[in-house]
Amino acid sequence: MYHYFAIYKPYGMLSQFTKEGDHTTLADLKYPFASDVYPVGRLDADSEGLLLLTNDKRVNFQLLNPANSHPRTYPHPGGRRDK
- This prediction's pTM: 0.80
**How many distinct structural domains can be found in the chain?**
1
CATH number of the domain enclosing 30: 3.30.70.580
22, 28, 44, 82: the active-site residue: 44
User: Within a domain: residue 52?
Assistant: yes
Q: For residue 53, is it within any domain?
A: yes
- The CA distances from residue 73 to 14, 16, 76, 82, in Å, are 20, 22, 10, 4
Residue 17: which domain range? 1-58
The answer as to whether 65 is a domain residue is: no
Q: Residue 67 falls within a domain, yes or no? A: no
CA dist 48 to 3, 14, 51, 65, 66, Å? 22, 10, 9, 22, 23
Annotated catalytic, 36? no
Q: How do the pLDDT tens digits run along the chain, 83 residues long? A: 999 999 999 999 999 999 999 999 999 999 999 999 999 988 889 888 899 999 999 999 998 898 988 777 766 665 555 55
Residue 70 is assigned to a structural domain of this protein: no
